[in-house]
Amino acid sequence: MNQKFHPEQIRQLLNRSLSQIEQPTLERLREARTQALARYDAHNTAPAFAWAGNSSRPEHSANLRHKPYYYWVGAMLLVALLFSGATYWQHATTEQDISEVDIAILTDDLPMHVYVD
């Protein structure tokens, strides 16, 4: 067991073992490989479509079918909150500025009619 194999030797050993495998086993291995490759392809393309709700991965499609909806609603809520916050902040700042000018006019040492048409 302590014998060290060269990579080339390992390759030869594997090939030799492969030639000893029975045909039905080989068929099953081939089928499994094909399925694995198909799954690998689907996995690589899924994220792009998943956002649009088109995932082709059967084991994930059930999960992802409703996820885009939540993502969009969540994103919209976030945008709405940000928009609301920005609007509120702007409104409050404007109101504060107006109040400052108003109080300045109403308490200025110049009479109010100087500023009023």
Residues that bind other proteins (CB under 8 A): 51-54, 68-69, 72-73, 76-77, 80-81, 83-84, 87-88, 90-92, 95-96, 98-112, 114-117
Shortest Cβ 64–other proteins spacing (Å): 12
Would you say 31 or 102 has its CB closer to other proteins? 102
> Whole-angstrom Cα distance, residue 12 to residue 5?
11
> Whole-angstrom Cα distance, residue 27 to residue 33?
10
Shortest Cβ 72–other proteins spacing (Å): 5
SS3 2: coil
> Whole-angstrom Cα distance, residue 47 to residue 68?
11
Would you say 5 or 72 has its CB closer to other proteins? 72
Shortest Cβ 91–other proteins spacing (Å): 4
Q: How many CA atoms lie within 13 A of 41 on its CB side?
A: 6
List the alpha helices (DSSP H) in 21-66. Answer: 23-50, 58-65
Shortest Cβ 47–other proteins spacing (Å): 14
